Amino acid sequence: MLLALLLLLLLPPLVAASHELGAACAPAKCGNLTIRYPFWLLGRHPPYCGYPSLGVSCDPAAPSLNNSSLRVLGIDYGNRSLAAFHAKLAEDATACSATTFNVSATLALPLLAVSRANWALILCTNCSRTAPAGSLPVTCPGSGGAWNVYMGRRYESGGPFVQGMAPVGCKYSVVPMMPGSELGKLDDYPGLVRRGFLMEWTVAGDCAACNKSGGQCRYDDGFKCLCPDGRLHSATCARGEFFHYD
């Protein structure tokens, strides 16, 4: 036991050689966005500065998430939410592309979920349920003909019908919209899409606590706190356990 303890004392400290302590992961600007952990700026930050799926590609006109069609409008680190819009929907002023929009498939992004605080743009055709007052007609050749579109005050990931209970032949699509969006006429549609919708992220670890303890937040198969001693800790520099590479 004593020999093992002596060997541990003689061994050099195990450091995170691939991580740099300093300005490598300092917050970076992209237009009006500030990019910091758990996000990272592609081409500026090393990949360990944030989660792989939360890389931001900087186009000052419309920054995107990992070079996808999801354009980032704003990031609220306190609420762990971001505002974004889908470029392909914004390019179609007729709203017809929204009739085939599949939220589950299109926005199935690791760590991100569509917020239930959103409102919902609902498009439906051949449904027995009467569309609410104020619904607008949309004609989309090749997409089932005449559709109705209206704004719902509550976003439900399963759509306006309980799963498995939609009338036979009914087709519908739901697009999340920023709370407070109003659809008075079809011409409002492109602007509403560009206002975006809310998404929320869930990641492990407390970056604020890491920073407060003198560390810097890093990604290394999950959250780690890089401390002044060069070690990766699992939580904070004050009491975090050392993270050892096998």
* pTM for the full predicted model: 0.81
Residue 75 has pLDDT above 80, yes or no: yes
Instruction: Assess whether pLDDT exceeds 80 at residue 188.
Output: yes
Lookup: tokens for 48: 């360990």
The pLDDT assigned to 242 comes to 41
DSSP string, 110-128: TTEEE-TTSEEEEEEES-S
Identify the burial level of 137 via C-beta atoms within 10 angstroms of its C-beta, where 0-12 means exposed, 13-18 middle and 19 or more buried.
Answer: exposed
The residues, any chain, with a CB within 8 Å of residue 149's CB and separated by 6 or more, are 95, 98, 121, 122, 123, 135, 136, 137, 138, 183, 186, 189
- Quote the pLDDT of residue 103: 77
Mean pLDDT of 120-139: 82
Tens of pLDDT, residue by residue over 144-181, are: 668 889 888 888 766 665 444 455 567 888 899 999 99
